[in-house]
């Protein structure tokens, strides 16, 4: 008895010891045990989507998928859906991947995370899947890797700049400015009428960070097209992006107080209550805004960053996207689900229920007014694809701008910290 | 004799094995694993890595101002916590000890925050700092309450302290209360009769008799304060910028948000471990000496 | 005599003020949990105009209160049981043996108390995965045993020193073997420190956040704290709902406190003094 226990423990220990030290062995042998047709096969699919607020919709859609898979392929699918909060999502997903426990399907951020996860070899190439043909052209680039492979299906797409209160703008006879000079005039006019021009909410570092993709995108699409490539080769510098401080300073000088204490949700409440006419934020806060003031009428406009009206553009981007794990043992079913996301009949209602923007030709529902605002700009060609700035640089810019706002560091400090962060990214991901 | 000592080993192992095996599997081996990674450039995501010797350690201590800043910030926090937490706890204990009927009531009130999870306390206090206090200042004349409690790095250090103390003082208070009960009433009375003031009595009679409790409380505070994470994470997130970032947050950020440099983050946590080890060692040596003297 | 009275009033006054400050956040959580979102923002400190249990009903549902509580109870009970059993054996033996080996083992246990959790996070998850204890409440309880024995052994080790050896020797004379001696004679004497350990570990396991977050995948197996965390939505925080959930998660802890108050106080003190 004692011997048996001891033996087991030793085995367990040595297995654990080996597992503790790197996993260069890969996943050979895991593909074995393929199904032998005939009887109903059962498959357990693990999914990881960090959007607990939308759990109900995902649950329903997954249930439909399970029924379909049973009817068409006689496969009993059971889905285990893990839904951590967004704050912890990246950490948990990374821990899962690092411990060889990859979910079959997982959500990640298209622009920020796809490049490094793809490089590390976790993403299945989906280029040949039927859904790819249905994606809108404006959406496809965000889930395509630099070597031309589609590796994820975008769920949430964004077309954004800043938000403005349409009622206040109408009352003051204002229209969204197209240059920095016009923006200054708008600010003056608002101040003259005792209206605070901007709501500031910088408690979470990612909110001040938003100014970087907007400024960089605008400059890259007008005067500095090869910025990203040069940065990736350690040849550029953020001093070229110094212009972003012109608009950032203007916003900060004319905003609500205690910004580093106001989180996104509080900012949404303040904006909805009319405490500021504009808010540096994307339409992904629409639901929160409407929750605190259902009658709120707001629009999306491109943020001017200099006096070139050509540089005042809408940012097109994708965030939450679904990818299939390369090491998934249930790839067939996982791929079925991925394609089902853009199913010809079911997908339309699903996306509408999620309140996401249309991303594919199968989506025909009426989109929201703020989406239409942005789409109008896009149709005029006033838009660009979100520049591919590494996540670590975005994190750095957020923290840097928070500290800059709090008066702790100078512009130059922010810019050199960004250069350092990008160099470090290059070094780690060489 | 050899047979006897062999038997002794067997019996020792038999008693220790259940605890030791689980400890080894879930704590010792992972700790060694973390130390192992600290010598590599593994980024937590890639499947391969290389050994880079002490490169991570050198980088953390020489080229990483953010890490050094978080280290100094943590030291400052530890210092304040050791002094304030023990002063408050001991003060409360002394005061409560003098009460007769309300003893249980006060003990309960001050101990209660200790039972609430730290992360939840931090969220609760965020609500108090960001919403309630400004409103209170607006509605009453207490304008000093209208601070940028969690937004201004100079103030938020104290906000972090307030929440940490709120959460931790109760526990230390209980330990001090027990220590005080061990001080014979007759000794204190004798001192008072000899003409000592209550404060002198406390200093010369009570304090020397509770050095053991003080040692324990210093040890617990020191160890806990170096590892502080949830309070800061829930309250300021280390911000604005990195102004209130403690070491554990710096490590967390390195491992999970920046470039996922897990090897580098592991090196930083080894440094933290060594620092805690040194401080604890010094503290215990000093305190043990005093205890013996007393 | 008069001076005494004044001093007594002064301490009472100070204590009352401090108690009020200390209780203030709990008071806020309590009263606001009964208000609607709108009511709450009008005034945080005033008592609710009408008591509504709407937030509680919603929180009850959203955090799957019954299921989550059962999970938390299972994890805490198994974890504490395992820690107490294995650590009392080890702590006792290590305290009674003087050899090099026993010193080394004891030192390993103690030193590991200082290891920051963040440095073992990823290796620990890998280990859990390779032993297939990840994702289940039982597995999590086993991990807690592994992480918690060091502190418990430290406390038992100190406590055992105060038990006279004559007792064991008498038992050996009577023909008890080591295990019998331990369970019949020693373990009952360890009750005070065992209570301490059980309480400390209960507060730790019940309130822990990061480890369950990493280990549990299925929301069916979430602990109470983890379920509460899901209320912190991506883009909005419904404070009145969250506060109701906080009150609900604190109730079991408060109940345990009121039942075991004397043991808790005694236990903590005992642990500290004997440690």
Q: What is the CATH number of the domain that holds C266?
A: 1.10.3720.10
Is residue A285 a contact partner of residue A264, using CB atoms and an 8 Å limit?
A: yes
Domain holding C33, by residue range, is 2-54
Regarding whether C175 and C77 lie in a shared domain, the answer is yes
List the single best residue of A27, A265, A266 to mutate versus C (max C Cβ within 10 A).
Answer: A265
Cα separation, A197 vs A276, whole angstroms: 5
Q: What is the mean pLDDT of residues C27-39?
A: 82
Regarding whether A171 and A152 lie in a shared domain, the answer is no
A55 pLDDT more than 70: yes
pLDDT at A19: 39
Sheet holding A314-318, edge to edge: A157-160, A314-318, A383-385
pLDDT at C127: 87
Write out B128-155 in H/E/C secondary structure. Answer: HHHHHHHHHHHHCCCHHHCCCCCCCHHH
Partners of chain B (3+ Cβ pairs below 8 A):
A, C
Regarding whether A165 and A245 lie in a shared domain, the answer is yes
Regarding whether A243 and A210 lie in a shared domain, the answer is yes
**What's the number of domains chain C is made of?**
2
Regarding whether A211 and A123 lie in a shared domain, the answer is no
Regarding whether C123 and C48 lie in a shared domain, the answer is no
Give C-chain residues touching A95 at CB under 8 angstroms.
121-122, 125, 214
Residue C91 DSSP label: H
Regarding whether A119 and A45 lie in a shared domain, the answer is yes
- What ipTM was reported for this prediction? 0.86
Neighbouring CB atoms inside 10 A of A33's CB total 8
Regarding whether C251 and C134 lie in a shared domain, the answer is yes
Domain holding A107, by residue range, is 40-156+319-342
Q: What is the mean pLDDT of residues B79-89?
A: 95
Give A-chain residues touching C124 at CB under 8 angstroms.
none
Regarding whether C100 and C13 lie in a shared domain, the answer is no
pLDDT band, very low/low/confident/very high, at A31 (cuts 50, 70, 90) = very low
pLDDT at A246: 92
The CA-to-CA distance between both ends of chain B, in Å, stands at 42
In what helix (H) or strand (E) does residue A211 lie, and over which residues does it extend? Answer: helix A211-220
pLDDT at B148: 77
User: Cα angle vertex B118, ends B117, B124, to 5°?
Assistant: 90
Query: CATH number of the domain that B236 lies in?
Result: 1.10.3720.10
Cβ-Cβ contacts under 8 Å between B and C: the total is 247
Regarding whether C84 and C196 lie in a shared domain, the answer is yes
In what helix (H) or strand (E) does residue C2 lie, and over which residues does it extend? Answer: helix C2-32
Give φ, ψ of A179 to 5 degrees. Answer: -135, 170
Mean pLDDT score across all residues of chain A? 85
Give C-chain residues touching B16 at CB under 8 angstroms.
89-90, 93-94, 105
Is C44's Cβ below 8 Å from some Cβ in A? no
Regarding whether C100 and C24 lie in a shared domain, the answer is no
Q: Please judge whether C130 and A16 are an interchain contact, meaning their C-beta atoms are less than 8 angstroms apart.
A: yes
Q: By CA distance, what is A288's nearest residue in C?
A: C236
Regarding whether C157 and C43 lie in a shared domain, the answer is no
**What's the number of domains chain B is made of?**
1
pLDDT at C248: 87
Give φ, ψ of A33 to 5 degrees. Answer: 70, 40
List the single best residue of C126, C221, C242 to mutate versus A (max A Cβ within 10 A).
Answer: C126
pLDDT at A151: 93
pLDDT at A5: 46
Tell me whether residue B46 is in a domain: no
A325 three-state secondary structure: strand
Cβ-Cβ contacts under 8 Å between A and B: the total is 115
Share of chain C above pLDDT 70, in %: 93
pLDDT band, very low/low/confident/very high, at C38 (cuts 50, 70, 90) = confident
Listed range (A16-20, B70-74, C270-274) with the worst mean pLDDT: A16-20
Regarding whether A266 and A184 lie in a shared domain, the answer is yes
pLDDT at B69: 93
CA A100 to chain centre: 24
C118 pLDDT more than 70: yes
Q: Please judge whether A20 and C134 are an interchain contact, meaning their C-beta atoms are less than 8 angstroms apart.
A: no
pLDDT at B234: 84
A245 pLDDT more than 50: yes
List the single best residue of A58, A101, A281 to mutate versus C (max C Cβ within 10 A).
Answer: A101
pLDDT at B4: 65
pLDDT band, very low/low/confident/very high, at A280 (cuts 50, 70, 90) = very high
Regarding whether C241 and C130 lie in a shared domain, the answer is yes
Regarding whether A264 and A300 lie in a shared domain, the answer is yes
Tell me whether residue A407 is in a domain: yes
pLDDT band, very low/low/confident/very high, at B258 (cuts 50, 70, 90) = low
Regarding whether C230 and C211 lie in a shared domain, the answer is yes
pLDDT at A25: 36
Regarding whether A269 and A185 lie in a shared domain, the answer is yes
CA A387 to chain centre: 13
B291 pLDDT more than 70: no
CA B50 to chain centre: 35
B108 pLDDT more than 90: no
C186 pLDDT more than 80: yes
CA A215 to chain centre: 18
Q: Which of C54, C76, C98 is the last residue of a domain?
A: C54
Is residue C255 a contact partner of residue C174, using CB atoms and an 8 Å limit?
A: no
pLDDT band, very low/low/confident/very high, at B225 (cuts 50, 70, 90) = very high
Regarding whether C239 and C106 lie in a shared domain, the answer is yes
Cα separation, B119 vs B123, whole angstroms: 6
Tell me whether residue B172 is in a domain: yes
* Residue range C234-263, pLDDT digits in tens: 555 677 788 888 888 888 888 887 787 777
A13 pLDDT more than 60: no
B260 pLDDT more than 60: yes
Regarding whether A238 and A136 lie in a shared domain, the answer is no
Q: By CA distance, what is C122's nearest residue in A?
A: A95
pLDDT band, very low/low/confident/very high, at A12 (cuts 50, 70, 90) = very low
Residue B100 DSSP label: S
Query: CATH number of the domain that A418 lies in?
Result: 3.40.190.10
C220 pLDDT more than 90: no
Q: What is the mean pLDDT of residues C8-15?
A: 86
Neighbouring CB atoms inside 10 A of C252's CB total 17
pLDDT at A10: 46
pLDDT band, very low/low/confident/very high, at A203 (cuts 50, 70, 90) = confident
A86 pLDDT more than 60: yes
Give A-chain residues touching C217 at CB under 8 angstroms.
46, 80, 82
Regarding whether A296 and A332 lie in a shared domain, the answer is no
**What's the number of domains chain A is made of?**
2
Helix residue ranges, H only, chain B: 2-23, 29-37, 55-58, 65-98, 103-111, 118-127, 133-139, 153-181, 185-193, 198-201, 207-209, 211-226, 230-235, 247-256, 262-293
Point out which residues pair with A383 in neighbouring strands: A314
Q: Which of C54, C71, C87 is the last residue of a domain?
A: C54
pLDDT at A200: 93
pLDDT at C243: 85
* Residue range A310-332, pLDDT digits in tens: 999 999 888 899 999 998 999 99
pLDDT band, very low/low/confident/very high, at C273 (cuts 50, 70, 90) = low
Tell me whether residue A391 is in a domain: yes
Is C130's Cβ below 8 Å from some Cβ in A? yes
Listed range (A11-15, C45-49, C58-62) with the worst mean pLDDT: A11-15
Q: Which pTM was predicted?
A: 0.83
Tell me whether residue A358 is in a domain: no
Tell me whether residue A356 is in a domain: no
Domain holding B85, by residue range, is 64-293
Give φ, ψ of B149 to 5 degrees. Answer: -55, -40
């Amino acid at each position: 008895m004692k011997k048996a226990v001891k033996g087991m423990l030793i085995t367990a220990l040595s297995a654990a010891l080996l597992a503790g030290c790197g996993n260069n062995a890969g996943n050979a042998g895991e593909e074995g045990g393929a199904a032998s047709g005939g009887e109903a096969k059962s498959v357990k699919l693990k999914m990881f989507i960090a959007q607990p607020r939308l759990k109900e919709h995902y649950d329903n859609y997954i249930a439909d998928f399970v029924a379909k898979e049973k009817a068409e392929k006689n496969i009993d699918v059971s889905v285990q859906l893990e839904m951590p909060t967004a704050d912890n999502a990246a950490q948990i997903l990374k821990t899962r991947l690092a411990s060889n426990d990859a979910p079959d399907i997982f959500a990640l951020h298209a622009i920020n995370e796809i490049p490094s996860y793809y490089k590390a070899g976790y993403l299945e190439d989906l280029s040949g899947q039927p859904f790819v043909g249905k994606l809108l052209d404006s959406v496809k680039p965000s889930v395509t890797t630099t070597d031309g492979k589609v590796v994820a299906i975008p769920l949430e797409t964004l077309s954004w700049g800043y938000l403005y209160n349409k009622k206040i703008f109408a009352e003051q006879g204002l229209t969204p400015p197209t240059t920095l000079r016009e923006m200054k005039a708008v600010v003056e006019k608002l101040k003259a009428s005792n209206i605070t021009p901007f709501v500031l909410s910088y408690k979470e570092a990612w909110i001040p960070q938003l100014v970087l993709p907007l400024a960089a995108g605008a400059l890259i699409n007008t005067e500095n097209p090869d910025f990203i490539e040069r940065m990736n080769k350690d040849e550029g510098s953020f001093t070229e992006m110094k212009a972003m401080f012109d608009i950032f300073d203007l916003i900060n000088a004319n905003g609500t107080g205690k910004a580093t204490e106001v989180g996104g949700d509080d900012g949404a409440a303040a904006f909805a209550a009319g405490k500021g006419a504009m808010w540096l934020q994307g339409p992904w806060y629409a639901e929160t805004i409407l929750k605190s003031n259902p009658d709120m009428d707001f629009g999306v406009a491109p943020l001017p960053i200099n006096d070139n009206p050509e540089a005042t553009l809408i940012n097109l981007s994708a965030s939450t996207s679904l990818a299939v794990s390369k090491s998934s043992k249930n790839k067939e079913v996982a791929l079925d689900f991925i394609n089902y996301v853009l199913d010809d009949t079911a997908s339309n209602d699903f996306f509408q229920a999620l309140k996401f923007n249309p991303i594919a030709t199968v989506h025909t529902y009426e989109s929201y007014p703020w989406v239409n605002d942005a789409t109008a700009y896009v149709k005029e060609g006033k838009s660009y694809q979100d520049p591919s700035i590494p996540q670590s640089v975005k994190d750095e810019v957020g923290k840097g701008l928070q500290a800059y706002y709090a008066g702790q560091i100078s512009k130059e400090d922010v810019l050199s910290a960004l250069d350092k962060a990008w160099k470090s990214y290059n070094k780690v991901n060489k | 004799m050899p047979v006897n000592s062999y038997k002794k080993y067997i019996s020792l192992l038999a008693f220790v094995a259940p605890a030791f095996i689980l400890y080894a599997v879930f704590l010792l081996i992972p700790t060694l694993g973390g130390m192992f990674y600290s010598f590599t450039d593994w980024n937590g995501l890639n499947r391969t890595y290389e050994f880079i010797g002490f490169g991570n350690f050198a980088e953390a201590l020489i080229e990483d101002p953010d890490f050094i800043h978080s280290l100094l910030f943590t030291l400052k926090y530890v210092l304040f916590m050791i002094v304030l937490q023990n002063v408050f706890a001991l003060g409360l204990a002394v005061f409560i000890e003098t009460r007769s009927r309300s003893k249980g009531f006060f003990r309960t009130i001050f101990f209660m925050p200790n039972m609430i999870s730290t992360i939840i306390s931090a969220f609760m206090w965020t609500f108090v700092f960001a919403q309630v206090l400004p409103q209170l200042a607006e509605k009453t004349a207490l304008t000093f309450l209208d601070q940028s409690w969690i937004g201004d790095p100079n103030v938020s250090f104290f906000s972090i302290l307030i929440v940490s103390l709120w959460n931790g003082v109760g526990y230390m208070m209980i330990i001090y209360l027990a220590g005080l009960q061990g001080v014979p009433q007759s000794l204190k009375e004798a001192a008072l009769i000899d003409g000592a003031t209550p404060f002198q009595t406390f200093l010369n009679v009570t304090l020397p008799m509770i050095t053991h409790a003080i040692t324990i409380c210093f040890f617990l505070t020191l160890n806990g304060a170096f590892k502080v994470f949830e309070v800061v994470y829930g309250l300021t997130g280390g911000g604005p910028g990195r102004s209130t970032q403690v070491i554990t947050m710096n490590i967390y950020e390195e491992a999970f948000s920046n470039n996922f440099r897990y090897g580098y983050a592991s090196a930083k946590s080894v440094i933290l471990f060594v620092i805690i080890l040194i401080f604890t060692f010094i503290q215990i040596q000093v305190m043990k000496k005093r205890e013996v003297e007393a | 005599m008069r001076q005494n009275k004044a001093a007594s009033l002064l301490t009472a006054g100070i204590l009352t003020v401090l108690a009020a400050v200390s209780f203030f956040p709990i008071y806020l959580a309590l009263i606001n949990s009964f208000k609607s979102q709108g009511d709450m923002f009008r005034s945080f400190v005033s008592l609710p105009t009408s008591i509504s249990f709407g937030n509680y009903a919603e929180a009850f549902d959203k955090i799957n209160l019954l299921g989550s509580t059962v999970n938390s109870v299972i994890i805490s009970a198994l974890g504490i049981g395992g820690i107490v059993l294995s650590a009392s054996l080890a702590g006792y033996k290590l305290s009674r043996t003087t050899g090099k080996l026993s010193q080394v083992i004891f030192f390993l246990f103690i030193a590991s108390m200082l290891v920051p959790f963040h440095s073992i996070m990823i290796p620990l998850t890998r280990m859990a995965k390779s032993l297939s204890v990840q994702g289940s409440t039982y597995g999590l309880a086993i991990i807690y045993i592994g992480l918690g024995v060091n502190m418990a052994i430290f406390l038992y080790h100190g406590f055992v020193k105060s038990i006279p050896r004559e007792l064991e020797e008498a038992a050996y004379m009577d023909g008890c073997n080591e295990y019998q001696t331990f369970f019949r004679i020693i373990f009952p004497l360890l009750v005070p420190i065992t209570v301490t350990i059980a309480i400390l570990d209960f507060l730790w396991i019940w309130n822990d956040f990061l480890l369950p977050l990493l280990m549990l995948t299925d929301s069916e197996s979430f602990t109470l704290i983890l379920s509460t965390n899901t209320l912190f939505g991506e883009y909005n925080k419904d404070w009145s709902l969250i506060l109701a959930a906080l009150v609900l998660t604190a109730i079991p802890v408060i109940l345990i406190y009121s039942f075991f108050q004397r043991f808790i106080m005694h236990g903590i003190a005992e642990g500290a003094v004997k440690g």
